[in-house]
Amino acid sequence: MTFKNAVLFSLSLYSFSLLASPGAHGPNGEHLDQKPTRVEGALGKQADGSVIMPMKHQALLNVRTQFVRESEVKQHVRLDAIVKPHPDGYAKIQSSSDGRLDAPETGIHPTGVKVQAGDVLGLIRYQDTAYELASQTSELIAIRNRIDQTNRDVERLKKLGDLASKQALEQLETELLSLQQQAQALQKGLEKPEVLIAPISGVLINHTVSRGQWVEAGEALFEIIAPEQFLIEASTRDFALTQQLTSAKVVEQPGISLNYLGFSPELVNGLVHLNFELSQGQDNTNLFINQSISIHSPIDEKLKGIVIPASAVVLSPNNLPQVWIKLSAERFLPQLIRYQNLEPGLVLVTQGLGADNRVVVDGASLLNQVR
């Protein structure tokens, strides 16, 4: 038996005389009965549903209350969303030609490794057929022979000095430069591989790439995702929301704040897609690409009610939402309510509570367990 369960169990083993405090009223101003129905005033749950708990047990269970008041807040909407890579924080590395993959000096990185912009991820070595290789080699040899001959012709004209035609000499020098450039291009095609370079910094996704693998032009070999840049895409049938949103928070991770970017002008299955991005300075968010999440977003419409922590709302034996009101120093009464969700961690009670009610905000679930 845990410590908290032991304390709850002990409530049925003692008795005391209850001294109620005056002035407890319901949501419509009605006076709440502060006298327990049990004649002997035994601890624990009473016949009217209230719970009597000594102060020392409240302290042990960390039962905490606060006075509530009515306020006006912005209405919130809850939307289903999916995490996608941000276009500015995503890169796909593909080969521009057919060939065999070779590893750089640092080796081939597996998925999950953080890379920096400019890192070499792999080399693509073009592999000619025997005929193609022989043809290119033969062409390179022919060009080199022409270079040698042109060099001799240039030297011969230079030795003639003023007797040589300047125009002929310039033509030969231009032809020599062109032949040298052709030879360099052929040499690179035969020897130099295509270098795959990381265009951005981020976390690498390796598409099962390995040494010696034959790859085709346009094949995706790696992806890089910047962990601090995500696009949150929500969907809704309420087109009016496209003009009312400004920010949002992730329900599963309330510490993550989002900024509203805009909406897609294209409907998908009758739904409009709303785009959010992470607020500045947020990283290590523990979000994953293609993860399904929910977000809460405030809109311009105002609501009146009582704001309390979501942890204060528990379920009654009939599975209806309720809170616990503190009537006196040691007596608590359950109260059915109606509420709406606000931002993660907060709800707005629209019916069931009155101003200046003292509501249990910590430990409500423990009061529910008292028998």
30: left (phi over 0), alpha (psi -120 to 50) or beta: beta
Question: What pLDDT is stored for residue 235 in this prediction?
Answer: 93
- Quote the percentage of the chain above a pLDDT of 90: 32
The CATH number of the domain holding residue 118 is: 2.40.50.100
Instruction: Output the average pLDDT for the chain.
Output: 82
The length of the chain in residues reads 371
Considering the domain architecture, whether residues 244 and 256 belong to the same structural domain is answered as yes
Residues 313 and 202 in one domain: no
Instruction: Give the pLDDT of residue 139.
Output: 78
pLDDT over 70 percentage in the chain: 82
Q: Which residues, 6 or more positions from 246, have their beta carbon under 8 angstroms from its beta carbon?
A: 259, 260, 297, 298
Same-domain status, 105 and 167: no
CATH number for the domain including 295?
A: 2.40.30.170
Q: Which residues contact 112 (CB under 8 A, 6 or more apart)?
A: 203, 204
Confidence of residue 10 (pLDDT cuts 50, 70, 90): very low
Q: What is the pLDDT of residue 368?
A: 84
Domain shared by 214 and 231, yes or no? no
Q: Are 198 and 224 contacting, i.e. CB atoms less than 8 angstroms apart?
A: yes
39 has a pLDDT exceeding 90: no
The pair of structure tokens assigned to 146 is: 């022409």
Whether residues 243 and 340 share a domain: the answer is: no
Specify the pLDDT at position 81. Answer: 95
Q: What is the structure's pLDDT at 182?
A: 81
Q: Which two tokens stand for residue 104?
A: 């750089």
- How does DSSP classify residue 329? S
Question: Do 210 and 94 fall into the same domain?
Answer: yes
> pLDDT tens digits for 207-261?
988 888 888 888 999 999 998 889 999 999 999 899 989 999 998 888 889 999 9
Please tell me the total count of domains within the chain: 4
Q: Exposure of 130 by Cβ count < 10 A (0-12 exposed, 13-18 middle, 19+ buried)?
A: exposed
Residue that the structure tokens 């004209």 belong to: 157
Q: Is 309 helix (H, G, I), strand (E, B) or coil?
A: strand
Are residue 68 and residue 178 in the same domain, yes or no? no
Print the domain residue range for 256.
77-87+227-300
Angle between helices 166-191 and 130-160 (to 10 degrees): 160
Residue 185: helix, strand or coil by DSSP? helix
Domain boundary among 202, 224, 246: 224
Backbone angles phi, psi at 291, to 5 degrees: -75, 135
User: In the listed set 300, 328, 349, which residue is the last one of a domain according to the structure?
Assistant: 300
Cβ(326)–Cβ(342) below 8 Å = no
Q: How far apart are the C-alpha atoms of 231 and 226, rounded to whole Å?
A: 11
Helices (H) and strands (E) in the chain, counts: 5, 23
Q: Which of 85-94, 148-157, 317-326 has the weakest average pLDDT?
A: 148-157
Mean pLDDT value across residues 273-302: 86
Predicted local distance difference test score (pLDDT) of residue 25 = 54
The tens digit of pLDDT for each residue in 119-160 reads 999 998 876 555 555 676 777 788 888 888 888 887 877 777
C-alpha 94/C-alpha 124 separation (Å) is 10
When mean pLDDT is compared over 76-90, 151-165, 339-353, the highest value belongs to 76-90
Q: Is residue 98 domain-shared with residue 202, that is, in the same domain? A: yes
Q: Are residues 321 and 351 in the same domain?
A: yes
CB 364 within 8 A of CB 85: no
For 15, the token pair is 């008795």
Q: Is the pLDDT of residue 83 over 90?
A: yes
Give mean pLDDT, residues 161-188. 77
pLDDT level of residue 165 (50, 70, 90 thresholds): confident
CATH number at residue 321: 2.40.420.20
Residue ending a domain, among 276, 300, 324, is 300
pLDDT at 275 > cutoff 70: yes
Amino acid at 187: Q
Quick check: 295 pLDDT over 90?
yes
**What does the alpha-carbon distance between residue 65 and residue 63 come to, in Å, rounded to a whole number?**
7
pLDDT for res 232? 94
Same domain, yes or no: 201 and 249: no
232 vs 288: CA distance, rounded Å: 11
Q: pTM higher than 0.85 for the full model?
A: no
Q: How far apart are CA 86 and CA 231, in angstroms?
A: 5
Residue 198: the pLDDT is: 94
**Alpha-carbon span 80 to 60, nearest angstrom:** 39
Residue 298 has pLDDT above 80, yes or no: yes
What pLDDT sits at residue 267?
92
In this prediction, residue 141 carries a pLDDT of 82
31, pLDDT greater than 80 = no
Shared-domain flag, residues 279 and 293: yes
pLDDT at 73 over 80: yes
In this model, does residue 12 exceed pLDDT 50? no
Among the listed ranges 156-165, 284-293, 321-330, which one has the minimum average pLDDT value? 156-165
Q: Say if CB 9 and CB 45 are below 8 A apart.
A: no
216 and 238, same domain (yes or no) = no
Confidence of residue 283 (pLDDT cuts 50, 70, 90): low
Residue 303 to residue 350: CA distance in whole angstroms: 9
